Amino acid sequence: MHIDRGFLASQWVAEFDGAGGELFCKPWNSPNGDKLPKSSFLIDTSAKTVTCPAGETVAYRASTAKFPKATCEVCPRKPTCTAAKTTGRHIHIHDQEPLMQKLQRAVSTPQGRRQLRPRVAVEHVQAHTCRIQGPRARYRGTRKNDFDLRRTAAVYNLLAAA
């Protein structure tokens, strides 16, 4: 199933993945500028621990792993890891972190990126539909809005065929 990453927090996505369904989605990116990315850290969701590249391990609670300032201050990798002056490095753990790691591994390979390409065509059609129809529903009630969406799709098909 190809989905947009806006749906990744949904419970049915976890259930679909847990049931063995194949999920294709661009994972959330966690940029950290020129510092070490989150992918450099070993995240063990069963033990609820995060291990940094220097070998320090901390337990996480409430979806955030906080490395102590004292530990980060003496670490030789601090300049490449964090620019924090008053705290140590923080790593956010997604509610569905194993799925995020799986998706991240998939897009890091040429085959995984190739499997994501069909999403582009669908997203372009959705973007064109929003451009024609606008960002909000025009009418009250699903019946009229369903008709409006079908009208918009017909207009898009006519424009694409021309």
Is the separation of the CB atoms in 36 and 51 below 8 Å?
no
Q: Where are the domains of the chain?
A: 1-28+94-108, 36-93, 117-161
- Is 137 in a helix, a strand, or coil? coil
Supply the pTM of this predicted model.
0.69
pLDDT at 19: 92
Residue 50 class from Cβ within 10 Å (0-12 exposed, 13-18 middle, 19+ buried)? buried
Whether the per-residue pLDDT at 141 is higher than 80: the answer is yes
pLDDT of residue 9: 81
Give the whole-number percent of the chain exceeding pLDDT 90.
Answer: 36
pLDDT of residue 126: 78
Mean pLDDT of the chain: 88
